[in-house]
Structure 1
Amino acid sequence: MELTFRAIDVGDGRDGRWAKQAEPVWPVIAGETDPSALEPAGEAAARELFATHMPELVPVLDGLAAELDRPGAAGVLTQAALKPFFSGCSMASAPGALVRNYDFDPEHCERTVVASRFLRPVIGMGDFLWGLLDGMNDAGLAVALSFGGRFVHGRGMSILLVVRYLLETCASVDEAWRVVAGMPVSTAQNLILVDREQAAVVHLGPDRKAARVDEGCVTNHQDAPVPADQEAWGATGRRLAALRAMPDPSADELVAAMLRPPLYQTRYAEGMGTVYTADYRPAQGRVTYAWPAHRHEQSFERFTPEEWTVRVG
């Protein structure tokens, strides 16, 4: 299978570049939003929830909605009505590095690396217009998400915007943990946080208290193993065991492991294929996206808008 990726620079979101890339995908985005949750009263509630937990991003939200100029744009951009999505992922840290596989249906992944300067410089893999699957900021913090293994849904923030918010407002693992510990999230999710000195895994969910685990790797479950049929499908326990079996790996060793089974997955039609491997070096301000036969690097010092095609599987 061949997949095309692109890198774009949207600046502060208010000079037309962000709107230019958002307009073509708006129909798809609207289709991933539950319209019943964004009726007039629902949209007001969504904005109130957003303002309560991400106040620094309210001016950005309003600016992007104005750029998009579509009815109900602000409500959609809060992601409060985003339909739940569940994916696989393997994530691990090495000294000063965050390495992750993103496993999903490629047709439902935007495959767009985004450089932005909403509140500060951030580079990451974009999703749902301004959310992030993973990324890093100019302070030397990197964050990535993975599904937490439980199919639950409740009132809370979209994990895509939680990643964005942490990178826009935090400079360290400890600071990000303090923020996310009090953040309600709508689905069961794991985060991995990496800065210049330390790393941590965070377990989140609408049905549980946030927990910090000082471990360097995580897949798609939290405190307990998933049911046997779910393990047979997603192999979250097997993948985590493979990561734990690597004693003090370097970032390069982690990347190599991510590109081979059991971490590298090829069931794309089932939503369990590795779309990309990301190797973030936040202290150096650079990220390398990896595939079995291709590497692509971007950095704060040299970010290049472009497209490239890779072969996966």
Structure 2
Amino acid sequence: MELHWRAVGEDEPGPKWAGLFAEYWPDYQRWWLQEGEAARPTYWQGRQALTTHMPEIVPLYDRLCELAGGTDLASRFLSFHCPPPYMSACSQAIWPGKEPVLVRNYDYDAKAFDSLVLRTGWQGRNVIGTSDGLWGLVDGMNDAGLAVSLTFGGRRVVGDGFGVPLILRYVLQTCETAEEAGAVLARVPTHMSYNVTVLDAQRHYLTAMMAPDRPASITHAAVATNHQEKVEWSSHARFTATVERERFLLQRLTLHVEPEEKFIGAFLKPPLYSSAFDQGFGTLFTAVYRPRLGEMELRWPKAKWAMRLDDFRDDTRVIYTPEAAGARLPG
């Protein structure tokens, strides 16, 4: 399987972003309407929710809606308010070395993935990360040295809130420390359960276990997979091996000290790496963030792509994934 990746930078929302939206919108529109138009909030409901919970980025939202053509459906989609349910099966951890590193695997359906790194200077804040929905992010960092990453929380509950990629964008646009990020993650409502791990330039970190039906739990966990305090969706947990992956990472962090490169390399092999591409849970990439240095890397078993926040260049890559095995590789 081929993954065609792009890295695109634009200081202010403009023609590059508008071109990306025009390209991706037909597929996103079908996804957004999969349960029918009436199942999605109105434009006014989405904008009011943004105004209530994330007011600092409302001017940015308005500008993106304009660039997207100003249509009702596109503007409703861009609010990320109460989107259709979706889930992934990811692993993330913080390696506590001299330069702390946030490492994550993103296990998801390649046919529903942007394959896009965005570097933006929106509202005066430089941000780089892996795109979802063309302004949301599944992981990223900003010029204050703050890095964030998400995993699905392993619960079926769906509620009234935002798609978590937009919440990550909001964190990176408005926060500089893990403490500030934790406060945002505790108050902004999410439509499904997610674990968000945060690392800042002062080496402080946290993991927020967010849910639509209960208060967020802000923890000092350095590892997150696809459950929260306990497994609540047993079939999903078994299929994704969430408990086994969590134990594997905790053992690597607590039982012995290993070099950074060896720790990162573990994400490219079982049990963390998944080849379940034909079931929508293959590992599409491993991301490595060194927020104090402003460095981001994407890795695959046979490729590496390094980028810098302060020296970014538009680029493309074609990545060849291993043959799908139909299930998570045995550990």
User: In the TM superposition, what are the counterparts of 1:145-184 in structure 2 within 5 Å?
Assistant: 145-184=150-189
Structure 1 residue aligned with 2:115, among 111, 116, 140? 111
Cα distance in structure 2, aligned partners of 1:273 and 1:235:
13
- Of residues 68-77 and 98-107 in structure 1, the stretch that sits farther from structure 2 once superposed is 68-77
Read off the aligned partner of 1:233 and give its amino acid letter.
Answer: F
Read off the aligned partner of 2:268 and give its amino acid letter.
Answer: L
Deviations 1:72-107 (A, max 9, x none): 132221011421111100000013211000001111
8 Å CA contact 2:154, 2:233 repeated in 1: no
- Of residues 167-176 and 226-235 in structure 1, the stretch that sits farther from structure 2 once superposed is 226-235
**1:238 paired to 2:244:** yes
Read off the aligned partner of 1:25 and give its amino acid letter.
Answer: Y
Partner of 2:263: 254
Give the SS at the match of 1:242. helix
Relative to 1, partners in 2 of residues 1:81 and 1:157: Cα closer, same or farther, differing over 3 Å?
closer
Cα distance in structure 2, aligned partners of 1:199 and 1:252:
20
User: In the TM superposition, what are the counterparts of 1:79-158 in structure 2 within 5 Å?
Assistant: 79-95=80-96, 96-119=100-123, 120-158=125-163
Aligned residue pairs: how many?
310
Relative to 1, partners in 2 of residues 1:38 and 1:152: Cα closer, same or farther, differing over 3 Å?
closer
Partner of 1:53: 53
Give the SS at the match of 2:67. helix
- Aligned-residue offset at 1:183: 1.2
8 Å CA contact 1:94, 1:249 repeated in 2: no
User: When you count strand as a share of all residues, which structure comes out higher?
Assistant: 1
Q: Where does the alignment leave 5 or more consecutive residues of structure 2 unmatched?
A: 323-331
Q: Where does the alignment leave 5 or more consecutive residues of structure 1 unmatched?
A: none
Relative to 1, partners in 2 of residues 1:105 and 1:305: Cα closer, same or farther, differing over 3 Å?
same
- Aligned-residue offset at 1:227: 4.3
TM-score by length of 2: 0.90
- Aligned-residue offset at 1:229: 2.5
Give the SS at the match of 1:75. helix
**RMSD over aligned Cα atoms:** 1.4
Partner of 1:283: 292
Give the SS at the match of 2:213. coil
Cα distance in structure 2, aligned partners of 1:136 and 1:177:
15
- Of residues 239-248 and 225-234 in structure 1, the stretch that sits farther from structure 2 once superposed is 225-234
Read off the aligned partner of 1:47 and give its amino acid letter.
Answer: R
Read off the aligned partner of 2:68 and give its amino acid letter.
Answer: L
8 Å CA contact 1:92, 1:254 repeated in 2: no
Structure 2 residue aligned with 1:191, among 193, 196, 206? 196
Structure 1 stretches of at least 4 aligned residues deviating more than 3 Å after TM superposition: 248-251
8 Å CA contact 1:251, 1:279 repeated in 2: no
- Aligned-residue offset at 1:37: 4.0
- Of residues 215-224 and 225-234 in structure 1, the stretch that sits farther from structure 2 once superposed is 225-234
Deviations 1:3-50 (A, max 9, x none): 12110013211x3111011101111111122421456xx221111011
Give the SS at the match of 2:90. strand
